[in-house]
Each structure stands twice: as C-alpha cells, then as structure tokens.
Amino acid sequence: CGEGLTRPNPPVGAVVVRDGKVVGSGFHPAAGEPHAEIFALRQAGDLARGADLYVTLEPCNHHGRTGPCCEAVIAAGIARVFVGVADPNPIVAGSGLDRLKSASIQVETGLMEEECRWLIAPFAKHVRSGLPHVTLKAAMTLDGNIDTSTGESRWITGSASRERVHRLRNQCDAVMVGIGTVLADNPRLTTRLPVSGGRNALRIIVDSRLLTPEDAEVTRGTGDAPTLIATTMQASEEKSQRLRQLGVEVLRIEGSSDVVDLKVLMRILGQRGLQRILLEGGGILNSAALRAGIVDRVMFFLAPLVLGGRGTGVFFGTGVDFLGDAIRLSPIHLARIGDDIVIEGEVIRSCSQD
C-alpha cells in the first residue's frame, strides 16, 4: 500500500463504489506519484460519475508535486465522499472537505477513523511536532524473556514473525538499536524479504562511548544500507574518523553527557524528515527510550515458550513504583502470526508530550 515509500506524504488508499460494486481502487505508491484518489478515478473512468468515493484521508486541496485531488474528484462527477480522517496538518486541515462541499458533494467523515489514524500515525506526529514516530518492537517468551541466561535468543519467535519484522523494516525510515545489541548479536539490520528482498532503512546505533567494532556488520554495505552512529561529544575523535572512512555517519549529540540524549536525537532525525523509526533495542535502550518519552507504539511478539528461570527482560531497571504511573496503550491490536501472538498498542500521552 505504499508504506515506507510515500514520505513525506502519508500512505493513503481509495476506492470508487457504484451501485454497491467497486469500480475503481488505488493507493499512493510513492512520493511524487499520483495520489490514491487519482488512481481510483482513472480506473473507474466514466463510472465515477454519480458514484461514491471512499478514502482513508481527506483529499488534498493544494498544489504540491501533484495537483489538488479535490479538483479531480469534482471533475469526475463523484456524488458522495466518505473520509476516514481529516488531514492532521493544521495548516490545511478541513480545506479539502470544504472544497468538496462547496461543489455540492456530500461529505461524511469518521468512517473507520481509528484504523485510519493508526495507518497515518507517523505522518501525523511528524507534521504536528516535527518528531518521528517510534515503535518499540520486541520478541519474547511467555514469561517475558528476550533471551536465555546464556544469552541465546535465535530464534524465540517463528519464521512468520521474523518475516513480519522484515516487512516492518521495509516500511520504516530507520531501524534503531543500542551498542549492547551490536556487541551481543552483531546484527545486519537489513531487510530480507522473499522474492523482492526489500528496501533497507537507515541503521541507527545508539553508542555513547563509540564501542562499535570497525568490522561489525552495521559498518558494511553502507552504500545500500546507510549507518548512523549516535554518540556523545566525549567519544573518541580518532575512532570517529576511522568509522567515517568506512562510510558510517558519526553524529555527536550536543548536550549529551556520558549517554546520548534521545530527545535531542529524535529532534535531529525529525529535522532530517524521518517519520517512522523501528526500535529493536535491548533492555537498556528500551528503558531509556521509555524514560525519555520517545516511544509512540509498542509491538510485542509473544512465542509459545516458557524459560522458567532467569533470562533477560525487555526492559532494564526497576521501572515505575506505582501502577498509576504505568504506561498505558490504546487502541490495542492483537493478531496471530504462525504460532506466535503479536500485540500492538499506541502509547497514551497528552498533546503536550508530542
């Protein structure tokens, strides 16, 4: 559906329905390409006149890389438009709906609104706050461990779940881990999908002391899968230069003391246009991300395994002292993938925290 390819635009889908039958459908495939409504209208052709248009996001009413979709909808003779969610951009929100109404087109909003908001959440956060949307992903046993007491973690979840993770990487702008994960697992952090292979996201390593080995997998293939190491001002400049010669970007975060300031890092990534980050860290980085308030969505893959003893948890440290301070999620999505269960939820926070 274009997820991962549409930035800076959101992923959008549209269908044209006439007499209860779908006569046209489309989605926004990539930035600079026609929007979903245009593809749906083209497919419908003359059957669009007097028909209904269903679209996940309010049709645009401004000129960008492409013309305003509202004018195409009006010219096609659409009678009614059903919109999932209004444009979250406060500068243009509602203008598309107003334009359609001014052309005597009946407009209804809020159709499957929760699902549509979920789909465009990364775009919505970035357009409102300038910050990327962060999904904290972890795979664990039923008793909450991400590896055994000996450090073994491959593979807790099944092949179907692992393929789902690669699809997530394919959709994201960046994949982020901590130095602990690099030293323990030496991951590639690339996208490996059947047939297509997939698109590689930016690989981000949070490494406060610049301990990333120069022969680590994340320092290889930087032309196809770029790597950014976020570190502190105290990190070795000599080591920084050696990593840069390997094609790695070393980003020194100002204001960081002995650890990387994750809030500052998110501001920098947002300024670079990144909207969607997949956090695949270990307990230390996961806990730091929660404390910093940068996590927007939690995604846990639960495998039908019980270690029955001491392993490594998803988070490190004592956590909150009271249940009232616990991080709450809503809405919640549950699905079965092979033998595993995946649970996803958006972090509930006030608007002032965005």
Q: Give the residue numbers annotated as catalytic, written as ranges.
A: 37
CB atoms within 10 A of CB 306: 11
Could you give the CA distance from residue 61 to residue 68 in angstroms, rounded to a whole number?
5
Could you give the CA distance from residue 116 to residue 254 in angstroms, rounded to a whole number?
37
Longest Cα–Cα distance of the chain, Å, equals 69
Write out the DSSP string of 112-161.
THHHHHHHTHHHHHHHHHS--EEEEEEEE-TTSEEE-TT---TTSS-HHH
State CA 147 to chain mean position distance: 25
* Phi, psi angle pair for 148, to nearest 5°: -85, 180
In contact, 297 and 134? CB cutoff 8 Å: yes
Task: Please name the helix (run of DSSP H) or strand (run of DSSP E) that holds residue 226, with its range, or none.
Answer: none
Nearest CA to 343 among 330, 325, 326, 354?
330
In contact, 52 and 23? CB cutoff 8 Å: no
In contact, 121 and 113? CB cutoff 8 Å: no
- CA torsion, ordered 351, 344, 334, 177, to nearest 10 deg: 170
- Preceding omega of 59 cis (within 30 degrees of 0): no
